């Protein structure tokens, strides 16, 4: 009934092992309440600082996934790298996102849940958070009769991609959309571009749960380059918009655990510290050595690269030191995040440093 994505057995074994390596024993059983904070490996990691215990999620099962109840009929699935969310209803299942690394384990997770709660297992509706393949690249698993819902901007992006694993949406909206299925509901909203031009907010009002992908990273610093976001100022703004929703539980689309409100506040503090440090570094790092070294060669790009790298490194150092042991991977991606913020400050905010208006 559901076509298999092309996925070699060796890849599946790798994903099982990789998920297990990231996760630790859960404090709640399958289909129970949210897992309690787990304990990270205290032996340390090669090259990088250990992952704080509070940043780690529940252990995937032998097939490489964990499924748990958020509240009522709302559930989540993770492989410790990506996350999905689904509602079981009297008419079928409403799924939000279909990450390819979870893939067919989404079907297994849904069967686990619906077998236990006696509701239909068929996925009738699939919500796309946005167009990116790493979050909806397994959408092709759910057949041609599923109702696929997205923001209007998602459709042309998927049409351009022409990816059979990401079928075009069948229903689109511009600002708001209320999805009601079998006694359950989700409120979909678009608040402008952020990580991508089409990224939406998915709110489950009956369960005080918000899903917003690639914006907040509970327990971790944002992925490299501020989540490779296409609009950094609006990506930063989206964090505050998210905090304006009355949620208690947050589904961020990545990594192994759910979020609470303290996680959102923590990331906003991290970004505030990073911006202050980056602005200071733009003013304090002397560009003269880079002009002197590469100017005689006429190598303009070398001047820019070495100066901007020095600014990013200077900006990142105190922030990485402050958050190491607090947010996972603060020592891994803070320099990359400072570089992305630096470029945004230069081109979006006009903070040009030595490349400003010539006197």
Digit-coded pLDDT (tens) for 95-136: 999 999 999 999 999 999 999 999 999 999 999 999 999 999
DSSP state of 52: P
**pLDDT for residue 25:** 45
CA separation for the pair 337, 282 (Å, rounded): 15
Contact criterion met (CB below 8 Å) for 56 and 67: no
Token pair for 239: 């964090």
**pLDDT for residue 1:** 33
**pLDDT for residue 46:** 79
**pLDDT for residue 194:** 97
Phi/psi of residue 197, each to 5°?
Answer: -70, -15
Diameter of the chain measured on Cα atoms: 74
Give the residue ranges of the chain where pLDDT is below 70.
Answer: 1-45
Token pair for 4: 């298999």
Beta strands in the chain (DSSP E): 66-71, 74-78, 83-88, 93-96, 123-127, 147-151, 171-173, 176-181, 184-189, 201-204, 209-211, 249-251
- Which pTM value belongs to this model? 0.89
Phi/psi of residue 285, each to 5°?
Answer: -80, 125
Contact criterion met (CB below 8 Å) for 76 and 114: no
Length reported for the chain: 359
**pLDDT for residue 34:** 37
């Amino acid at each position: 009934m559901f076509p298999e994505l092309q996925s070699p057995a060796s890849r599946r074994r790798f994903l099982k092992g990789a998920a297990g390596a990231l996760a630790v024993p859960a404090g709640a059983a399958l289909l129970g309440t949210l897992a309690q904070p787990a304990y990270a490996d205290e032996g340390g990691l090669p090259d990088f600082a250990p992952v704080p215990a509070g940043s780690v999620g529940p252990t995937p099962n032998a097939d490489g996934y964990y499924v748990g109840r958020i509240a009522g009929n709302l559930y989540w699935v993770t492989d410790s790298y990506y996350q999905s969310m689904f509602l079981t209803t009297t008419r079928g299942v409403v799924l939000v996102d279909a990450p390819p690394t979870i893939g067919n384990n989404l079907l297994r997770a849904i069967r686990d849940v619906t077998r236990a709660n006696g509701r239909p297992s068929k996925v009738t509706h699939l919500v796309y958070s946005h167009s990116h393949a790493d979050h909806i690249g397994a959408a092709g698993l759910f057949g041609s009769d599923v109702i696929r819902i997205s923001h209007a901007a998602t459709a042309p992006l998927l049409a351009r991609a022409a990816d059979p694993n990401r079928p075009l949406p069948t229903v689109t909206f511009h600002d708001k959309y209320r999805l009601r299925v079998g006694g359950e509901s989700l409120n979909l909203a678009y608040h402008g571009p952020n990580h991508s031009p089409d990224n939406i907010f998915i709110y489950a009002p009956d369960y005080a749960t918000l899903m917003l992908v690639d914006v907040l990273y509970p327990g971790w610093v944002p992925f490299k380059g501020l989540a490779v976001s296409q609009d950094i100022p609006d990506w930063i703004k989206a964090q505050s918009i998210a905090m304006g929703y009355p949620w208690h539980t947050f589904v961020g689309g990545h990594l192994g655990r759910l979020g609470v409100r303290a996680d959102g506040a923590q990331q906003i503090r991290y970004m505030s510290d990073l911006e202050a440090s980056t602005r200071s570094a733009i003013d304090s790092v002397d560009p003269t050595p880079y002009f002197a070294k590469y100017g005689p060669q006429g190598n303009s790009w070398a001047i820019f690269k070495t100066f901007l790298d020095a600014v990013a490194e200077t900006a990142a150092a105190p922030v990485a030191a402050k958050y190491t042991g607090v947010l996972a991977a603060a020592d891994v991606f803070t320099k990359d995040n400072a570089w992305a913020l630096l470029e945004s400050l230069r081109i979006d905010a006009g903070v040009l440093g030595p490349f400003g208006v010539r006197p």
